[in-house]
Amino acid sequence: MFRLDQKVAVITGGGSGIGRAISVLFAKQGAHVHILELDAANAKNTVTHIESEGGNATAHICNVANQKEIIAVFEMIGSADILINNAGIAHVGRVDNTSEEDFDRIMNVNVKGVYNCIYAAIPLLKKGGGGIILNLGSVAGIVGIPDRFAYTTAKGAVMAMTLSVARDYMHDHIRCNSISPARVHTPFVDGFIKKNYPGKEEEMFDKLSRSQPIGRMGKPEEIAYLALYLCSEEASFTTGCDYPIDGGFIKLNT
């Protein structure tokens, strides 16, 4: 079950964190993984790891916010069965202290970047007779999180895009779903805490961990397992859905 043999999977931000975990798992399950990354070192490291385990992976250094770059990369890849829109960035701030520059930066990566990749992938998925698009959302797009105005707005847009794409391309045999994680322990989180809470790293890590009722952050591999199911033939009846994976954050947090 859950094999991806002969499948071509394009994974944005596949060089680290959740994207790396998905890339490694999908390659293990038989897919040829194409990693779209801004960070060349992370991309190379992940490809090397996958190849050391007998898998197939190719790195493409590009910016998801640049449509011309993305279209060129997808044309180079030539065919695709799966697209994982994982690349994203964060921002701390409410609407009244979020600058236009920061708002645009979040929208360009977290919203336009998803649009660009879907735009470029649809012709390839159609050519192959169908496929799967999986977007990485967030619990922020469902319940809102304090001091995350731009990020919450972007993730809400990703959920709306998921519904629209699922509806518009259903008859092309293209399924589109999203996953909404709560906090997941990745190098991104460690860097985020260090940047925004200098000198209080341990305190903030503990606080953020305990904000999940289950008492800890998620693991990237746990998100990858759900992604694998949703991109497998076993999930062929599933489209237009969002799947929170949140340690009880949405339903049990008080």
C-alpha to C-alpha distance for 20 and 45, rounded to whole angstroms: 10
C-alpha to C-alpha distance for 68 and 105, rounded to whole angstroms: 18
Q: Indicate the DSSP class of residue 31.
A: P
Any catalytic annotation for residue 197?
no
> Could you tell me the two tokens for 60?
């493409």
Active-site annotation holder among 151, 197, 229, 243: 151
C-alpha to C-alpha distance for 125 and 144, rounded to whole angstroms: 33
* Bridge partners, residue 12, by sequence: 36
C-alpha to C-alpha distance for 77 and 53, rounded to whole angstroms: 22
How many residues make up the chain in this entry?
Answer: 254
Pick from 22, 24, 82, 84: which is nearest to 54 by CA?
Answer: 24
C-alpha to C-alpha distance for 38 and 66, rounded to whole angstroms: 11
Pick from 125, 138, 130, 212: which is nearest to 178 by CA?
Answer: 138
Q: Indicate the DSSP class of residue 39.
A: -
* Bridge partners, residue 84, by sequence: 11, 134
> Could you tell me the two tokens for 56?
């197939």
Q: Which amino acids are annotated catalytic?
A: 151
